[in-house]
């Protein structure tokens, strides 16, 4: 007997697992090189050399009981200070180690901050399309996710609807920039307007509304596009960062929260986040990986590989007549389904061994997500098959 709340969660998860298994099944049947699996956001670009060197250096030269031991729940102080200084250099902020809580990736960080902030029945707002796990992270703590409908013109948030949906129960707003699944970067103009609305509503209701910046894709931005650092625009901002994509370390589970001093009741929020990390069962972020990322604060995955893929898939599909959102960041392409029900499009593509994710799971039916963190050859070789699908769909 499992908990009632888990029954539907298991059912939903099995859809994703089914897609994963479908990829494996097709690979066995036709050979991996003949399957074009664009379903998973699992980085294909290796971690930078600095990561390997750091691991070796640390295990060879630091004391075992130190590198594998417990530390304070918020993480090693020197690691947090190194990260704070790196942020200050890059964004002109003024953080120190007390503003950083090391987390078990972005997922761990978001669960930690929702545990810290949410009372049952309170609302968290987000903008569709959005990372589907938000729904679970919020409901884990009895919160309710309130979704602002998608603006399918340019996929910047719909600010009128946002303002109208803020209530006295709104505790937080979560934004993901660059965005999964669209690849769009919310502009500085958007962020300034969003901050002004939130300031106004805080005053109107006499509440604190926290802005949570979910930023695992911050470093994956192309053509020199500016990704605004949100703490500069709104005092009650908390940043959730992860090295899963920026250093290609998703299985290592390492990231951090930034809780600036400007946040209302900052000291309480910081202490509560450290306690939340512990009692959620994380205890602390993985110790070896904390020490590794501190040595790699200036390292970067090979962004050119993603950029080359981005151009190839965007240009390839656009030429075939598919309507695609021009991606400026992350490693996703968001494509309008040529037929109203995007699952029909996904099924048609699957017959050509192409796997894509229907965007209903991101709160945006009628679109599909293509994760282009695959080999360049996969993209090039998939294009003739996409051409067949385009023909069948009447493009
Ligand atoms: N937030 C977004 C928008 C993501 O796309 C992901 C992972 O794909 C996460 C959070 C979770 O990242 P992590 O692996 O660091 O927990």
DSSP secondary structure letters along 325-378? E---BTTEEEEE-SSSSHHHHHHHHHTTTEE-EEGGGGT-TTEEEEE--S-HHH
Q: What are the tens digits of pLDDT across the range 247-268?
A: 999 999 999 999 999 999 999 9
Are the folds of 4-48+301-392 and 49-295 the same?
no
**CB-based contacts of 389, cutoff 8 Å, min separation 6:** 345, 348, 349, 352, 354
Q: What is the mean pLDDT of the segment spanning 176-180?
A: 97
Closest CA to ligand 1's atom 8: 41
- pLDDT at res. 17: 73
Confidence of residue 327 (pLDDT cuts 50, 70, 90): very high
User: What Å distances lie between residue 350 and 282, 310, 321, 340, 360, CA to CA?
Assistant: 38, 21, 19, 17, 17
Strands 123-127 and 144-148: parallel
4-48+301-392 maps to which CATH number?
Answer: 3.90.1150.10
From ligand 1's centre to the CA of 229, what distance in Å?
18
Q: What is the mean pLDDT of the segment spanning 328-348?
A: 97
pLDDT tops 80 at residue 77: yes
- For the chain, the structural domain boundaries read 4-48+301-392, 49-295
CATH architecture of 49-295: 3-Layer(aba) Sandwich (3.40)
- pLDDT at res. 357: 94
- pLDDT at res. 33: 92
From ligand 1's centre to the CA of 40, what distance in Å?
12
- pLDDT at res. 295: 98
From ligand 1's centre to the CA of 361, what distance in Å?
15
From ligand 1's centre to the CA of 127, what distance in Å?
16
The ipTM (two decimal places) reads 0.99
Q: Which of 20-34, 132-146, 273-287, 348-362 has the least mean pLDDT?
A: 20-34
From ligand 1's centre to the CA of 189, what distance in Å?
25
Closest CA to ligand 1's atom 5: 180
Tokens 């919020």, residue? 138
- pLDDT at res. 228: 98
Closest CA to ligand 1's atom 12: 106
C-alpha span between 317 and 36 (Å, rounded): 14
The set of protein residues with a Cβ atom below 6 angstroms from ligand 1 is: 41, 105-107, 131, 176, 180, 214, 216, 242, 244, 250, 255
Closest CA to ligand 1's atom 10: 106
C-alpha span between 34 and 136 (Å, rounded): 35
Q: Residue 293 corresponds to which tokens in the numbers above?
A: 């990322």
pTM above 0.90, yes or no: yes
- pLDDT at res. 13: 81
- pLDDT at res. 42: 94
Q: What are the tens digits of pLDDT across the range 197-245?
A: 999 999 999 999 999 999 999 999 999 999 999 999 999 999 999 999 9
pLDDT tops 80 at residue 187: yes
Q: What average pLDDT does the chain have?
A: 97
pLDDT tops 90 at residue 14: no
pLDDT tops 80 at residue 15: no
Q: What is the mean pLDDT of the segment spanning 290-313?
A: 97
Confidence of residue 19 (pLDDT cuts 50, 70, 90): confident
Classify the C-alpha dihedral 58-62-66-72 as positive or negative. negative
Q: What are the tens digits of pLDDT across the range 119-159?
A: 999 999 999 999 999 999 999 999 999 999 999 999 999 99
* Ligand 1 nearest atom to the CA of residue 108, by list position: 16
- pLDDT at res. 21: 85
């Amino acid at each position: 007997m499992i908990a009632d709340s888990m029954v539907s969660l298991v059912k939903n998860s099995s859809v994703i697992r089914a897609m994963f298994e479908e990829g494996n099944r097709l690979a066995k049947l036709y050979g991996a090189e003949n399957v074009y699996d664009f379903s998973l956001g699992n980085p294909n670009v290796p971690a930078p050399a600095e990561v390997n060197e750091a691991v070796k250096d640390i295990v060879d030269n630091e004391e075992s009981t130190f590198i594998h031991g417990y530390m304070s729940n918020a993480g090693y102080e020197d690691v947090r200070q190194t990260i704070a200084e790196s942020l200050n250099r890059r964004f002109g902020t003024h953080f120190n180690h007390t503003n950083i809580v090391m987390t078990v990736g972005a997922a761990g960080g978001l669960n930690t901050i929702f545990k810290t902030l949410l009372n049952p029945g309170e609302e968290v707002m987000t903008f569709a399309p959005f990372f589907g796990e938000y729904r679970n992270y919020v409901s884990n703590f009895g919160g309710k996710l309130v979704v602002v409908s998608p603006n399918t013109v340019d996929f910047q948030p719909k600010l009128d609807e946002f303002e109208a949906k803020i209530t006295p129960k709104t505790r937080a707003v979560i934004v993901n920039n660059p965005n999964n699944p669209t690849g769009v970067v919310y502009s500085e103009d958007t962020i300034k307007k969003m901050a002004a609305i939130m300031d106004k509503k805080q005053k109107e209701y006499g509440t604190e509304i926290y802005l949570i910046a979910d930023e695992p894709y911050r470093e994956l931005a192309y053509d020199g596009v500016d990704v605004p650092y949100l703490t500069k625009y709104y005092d009650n901002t908390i940043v959730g960062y992860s090295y899963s994509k920026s250093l290609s370390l998703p299985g290592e589970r390492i990231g951090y929260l930034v809780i600036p001093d400007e946040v209302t009741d900052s000291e309480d929020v910081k202490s509560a986040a450290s306690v939340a990390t512990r009692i959620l069962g994380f205890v602390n972020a993985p110790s070896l990986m904390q020490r590794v990322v501190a040595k790699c604060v200036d390292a970067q995955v090979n962004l050119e590989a993603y950029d080359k893929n981005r151009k190839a898939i965007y240009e390839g599909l656009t030429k075939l007549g598919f309507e695609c959102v021009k991606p400026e960041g992350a490693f996703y392409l968001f494509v309008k389904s040529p037929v109203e029900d995007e699952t029909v499009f996904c099924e048609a593509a699957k017959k050509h061994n192409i796997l894509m994710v229907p965007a209903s799971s991101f709160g945006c039916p009628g679109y599909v997500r293509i994760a282009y963190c695959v080999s360049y050859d996969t993209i090039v070789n998939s294009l003739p098959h996409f051409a067949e699908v385009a023909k069948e769909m009447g493009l």
